[in-house]
Amino acid sequence: MKQTLCWFLVFVVLFSAASLIRQKIEKNRPWENPYSDVTQDLWSYANIEALNRAGVLPNWESLNPTENETRGNLVLYLYNMDQAIFPEKKKKKDKKQEEQDSPVFSDVSPEDEYYDAVLWAKEKGLVSGIGEGKFGPGELLTREQVCTILARFAALKNLALPKIKEPDQFVDSLYIQNYARSSVTACQISGLVNGYENGYFYPEDNMTRQECITVLCRLMKVAQEKTHKGTETVNLSSGAYDSLYENYVDIPFTVLVPESAAVDVSFFDRAVFIGDSVSLTLESYCKANGALGNAKFLCAGSMSATNILSGMILPEYPKGSGQKPAIEESVAACGANVVYVMLGMDNIAYGVDRATGDMVTVLTNITQRNPKAQIIIQSVTPMADSSTSYSDKLNNDTINAYNQRMQELCEEHRWYYLNVAEVFRDENGCLKKDYCSDYGKMGMHFTYAGAEIWVNYLKTHVPEALLGR
């Protein structure tokens, strides 16, 4: 009997040693990257590798890491993590029994890759449908939604998330929806998510695939590591941190952009300028000398918010293609997340209410298609005192009225307002002659000297909240 026991113990030791050796070999084995669009210069490369090695990320042909993440994919990742990282025995059902026991969404079929994951996530209370019997697998995820789902998953698996920092208010904490507040705080103090350098969290921004993967990788590491005795952990109970928000104060949104130190032109690499013929001079000037880095321009003569909506006048994009997509599609295609807009000169004559109303519609279309886009409205510049376009419907008084109304709308919609017109007015409120290229004619377009002043104004009037983003 003793001999049998000894041999059994020897077998156990040898088997354990062999298992450890296999794990070490597997860990040191070069990763066979299945994704055609994932290269080592991608900032999330190590996280993608870790999750794929663990069986969390499927072996798709391409990953599309910079695209926004979807509900269907996130529950698939969590389902895979549940199977791979938490090896407790799970009683399996046959497919027919599972379909009978679980609710089936009309937009999720058994052929879908994420079918089992969706049923599992619904059963475990991680997610619910979007209404009308639908799950919305292709719906994009916001940062606050991801935090909510991850906190629920951590609670489901009884994960002890170490508390690595104290809870702190983001500038926009009070704009986090009530249902997500405690989850966002739990993810914040555990280090699963962070705010931006400018102090914002941007709860309603979509999360890209590589951002989502990075957060999941942090969660997986917590699941794989042993929590040391005495470590303070995060409270994952529903509403555990809601009371903190009662003491948070509403930090005002500064609409009118103040003067500041000049920024590096690289800031404008992620910017696009939308404008009419007035902005065409700015585009030409910047293309000639790189004054605003790699900024993009979507400008066209006589373009207004009104004829953008009608499709009558739209900028060509890409340049030279002959294509003129909807303005929101062009913004998306150029990849900009800071959108400067100066429109109004060509439809103010229709009335301030109509002109500003159409502008709001255009901007709403842009932000709905580009949720991360930050809007900066540039005030319409004045007309010269010699302008032949001067009338009772289009003049500096109506321009000023339009600008005033647009600034009020910026307050309502939390858009930035840049009063660029202030540096171009003479003592009578007209466009300075030295900056006007068509003085004695239309009296509203710029010289390169005026464009240089414009560039300097843009560089010294950048919203502080956008600098660290």
Residue (of 224, 220, 327, 349) closest to 272 by Cα position = 327
219 pLDDT band, cuts 50/70/90, is: very high
Report the pLDDT averaged over residues 423-441: 95
What is the pLDDT confidence band of residue 228, given thresholds at 50, 70 and 90? confident
pLDDT for 38 beyond 90: yes
Type of residue at 290: G
Q: How confident is the model at residue 196 (pLDDT cuts 50, 70, 90)?
A: confident
Residue 4 has pLDDT above 50, yes or no: yes
Which pair of structure tokens corresponds to residue 64?
């599309």
State residue 25's pLDDT score.
47
- The count of residues in the chain is 469
Measured over the CA atoms of residue 81, residue 84, residue 85 and residue 88, the dihedral's sign is positive
Range of weakest confidence among 104-108, 175-179, 185-189, 234-238: 104-108
3-class secondary structure, 432:
coil
Peptide bond into 463 cis (omega under 30): no
pLDDT of residue 97: 45
**pLDDT given at position 19:** 44
Per the listing, tokens 């007015």 go with 425
Q: Transcribe 62-120 into DSSP letters.
A: ---TTSBPBHHHHHHHHHHHHHHH---------HHHHHHHS---TT--TTSTTHHHHHH
Query: Bigger pLDDT: 49 or 86?
Result: 49
Which residues are bridge partners to 376 per DSSP? 340, 416
- Please give, one letter per residue, the 3-state secondary structure of 415-430: CEEECHHHHCECCCCC
| Banded pLDDT at 22 (limits 50, 70, 90) | very low
The tokens for 365 are: 């279309």
Burial class for 83, CB neighbours closer than 10 Å (0-12, 13-18, 19+): middle
More confident residue, 371 or 105: 105
- Residue 93 reports pLDDT greater than 80: no
**φ, ψ for residue 131 (rounded to 5)?**
105, 160
Of 401, 400, 410, 425, nearest to 463 by C-alpha is: 410
What kind and span of H or E run contains 10?
Answer: helix 2-28
Work out the angle between the directed axes of helices 209-224 and 45-53 (0-180°, nearest 10).
Answer: 60
Confidence of residue 447 (pLDDT cuts 50, 70, 90): very high
- Taking residues 214-230, what's their average pLDDT? 89
Q: What is the pLDDT of residue 343?
A: 95
Other beta carbons within 10 angstroms of residue 53's beta carbon come to: 15
User: What would the two tokens of residue 424 be?
Assistant: 């171009």
pLDDT category, 240, cuts 50, 70, 90? Answer: very high
Place of tokens 């994704």: 35
pLDDT per position as a tens digit, 118-147: 999 999 999 988 989 999 999 999 999 999
pLDDT of 8 over the 70 cut: no
CB 343 within 8 A of CB 376: no
Query: To 5 degrees, how large is the angle CA 422–CA 423–CA 428?
Result: 70
What local confidence, expressed as pLDDT, does residue 395 receive?
94
Q: What is the pLDDT of residue 243?
A: 96
> Do 208 and 42 meet the contact criterion of CB atoms below 8 Å apart?
no
Give pLDDT tens digits for 249-300: 988 788 999 999 999 999 999 999 999 999 999 999 999 999 999 999 999 9
Distance CA 138, CA 448 (A): 47
Cα–Cα nearest to 46, from 61, 29, 33: 33
- What is the bridge-based pairing of β-strands 338-342 and 296-299? unpaired
State the Cα–Cα distance between residues 339 and 327, nearest whole angstrom. 11
Closest CA to 124 of 180, 83, 168, 63: 83
Q: What pLDDT score does 85 carry?
A: 87
Residues 6+ apart with CB under 8 A from 163: 189, 190, 231, 232, 233, 234
The angle at the Cα of 142, spanning 138 to 145, to the nearest 5 degrees, equals: 95
- Give the pLDDT confidence of 320-345 residue by residue, as tens digits: 899 999 999 999 999 998 999 999 99
